[in-house]
Amino acid sequence: MSAPARPEKSCVACGRRITWRKKWARAWESVRYCSDACRRRRVLPVDVALENAMRDLLGERSREATIDPSEAARRVGGDAHWRALMEPARAAARRMVARGELEILQRGSRVDPSTARGPIRLRQTSSVPRSDAAGADGGSFVPVPPTP
């Protein structure tokens, strides 16, 4: 007994995978949040700031470098507030994984963002060539000249 394949989607707030439920059968396309808590919280400006901080931190380092999400939390929240931003930072990382920008590592291996527990490190996506990532958001497309 196999269910028809449904496009996988992730919560726009927490970035976790949304598990299909029967009650969403006719509205699956419009489901955006995994839970009422996420729907109430939404994505706040601080969440966007955390994403930007991760992008900046990774951009400042080598292609293969990893960062700890707490570095982004400290950059956004400063010494006084970074702890409160740790879970939002992990959510920001999961959203970026869902968009193909990041991968989440534990002990050097990629892990499922939806189920990872404990300390994580973040790295720029390695499986997708950077040129593809640029093309996805309307970046430069260079047509290949026909071979004579």
> For binding to Zn ion (CB under 5 A), which residues are involved?
11, 13-14, 34, 38
Measured from the CB atom, the residue of 63 and 117 that comes closer to Zn ion is 117
Q: What is the nearest approach in angstroms of Zn ion to the Cβ of residue 59?
A: 27
Q: What is the nearest approach in angstroms of Zn ion to the Cβ of residue 14?
A: 3
**How large is the C-alpha radius of gyration of the chain?**
17
Measured from the CB atom, the residue of 11 and 53 that comes closer to Zn ion is 11
What is the rounded CA–CA span in Å between residue 133 and residue 55? 14
Across 58-116, the runs of DSSP E, i.e. the strands, are 66-67, 102-106, 109-110
**Neighbouring C-beta atoms of residue 73, cutoff 10 Å:** 25
Q: What is the nearest approach in angstroms of Zn ion to the Cβ of residue 117?
A: 16
What is the rounded CA–CA span in Å between residue 70 and residue 79? 11
Measured from the CB atom, the residue of 38 and 104 that comes closer to Zn ion is 38
SS3 of 27-65: the string is CHHHCCCCCHHHHHHCCCHHHHHHHHHHHHHHHCCCCCC
Q: What is the nearest approach in angstroms of Zn ion to the Cβ of residue 36?
A: 10
Measured from the CB atom, the residue of 19 and 126 that comes closer to Zn ion is 19
